[in-house]
Amino acid sequence: MKNTFFFFSFLILLASSCAKIETINYKITETSTRAEDDKTMADFFLEIKDVSESKNCTNAENWRYVEYGSKACGGPIAYMAYSIQINTKDFLNKVEVYTALEKKFNTKWSIISDCGITPSPRSIKCVYNKAELFY
């Protein structure tokens, strides 16, 4: 009975830790150069953008948007549309990690920004099979 309790406790712990395992290979370290960090951010953004654009937009009801990035003064850089037909959990996790990584980048390199408030989109429309955000 005691062994069964520990076995199930282990399984629950394992399952909960797997819920947000980061399989993301993008890192900014204390020793990385500015060029390396710039490349890291650009490569990571392209990966996220590729996923967000991986589906054709034929019905705007199947699309959502998410804020991404981090201005040095706070708030998102912009918004990105994504299809609900992708692995949204994985996609949103990547966006969250990207945003946290950009905060770290901004701090490390003393980045400044315009401190403007990025407006939220009002709607998504399909234009030539691409999702477009309208403000």
Task: Transcribe 41-65 into DSSP letters.
Answer: HHHHHHHHHHHHTSS--S-GGGEEE
pLDDT-derived band at 23 (thresholds 50, 70, 90) equals: low
What is the per-residue pLDDT for 24?
Answer: 80
43 is a domain residue: yes
Average pLDDT across the chain, whole number: 87
Q: How many domains does the chain have?
A: 1
Beta-bridge mates of residue 123: 134
2 is a domain residue: no
Q: What percent of the chain has pLDDT over 90?
A: 81
31 is a domain residue: yes
Within its chain, how far is the Cα of 125 from the centroid? 21
pTM of the model: 0.81
Residue 33, exposed/middle/buried by CB under 10 A (0-12, 13-18, 19+)? Answer: exposed
Q: Is the predicted pLDDT of residue 79 greater than 90, yes or no?
A: yes
53 is a domain residue: yes
Q: Is the predicted pLDDT of residue 18 greater than 70, yes or no?
A: no
128 is a domain residue: yes
d(CA 105, CA 100): 9
97 is a domain residue: yes
Residue 96 to residues 66, 113, 130, Cα–Cα distance (Å): 10, 20, 23
Domain around 33: 24-134
3 is a domain residue: no
Question: Measured on CA atoms in the order 133, 26, 102, 94, is the torsion positive or negative?
Answer: positive
pLDDT digits (tens, 9 = 90+) for 38-59: 999 999 999 999 999 999 999 9
74 is a domain residue: yes
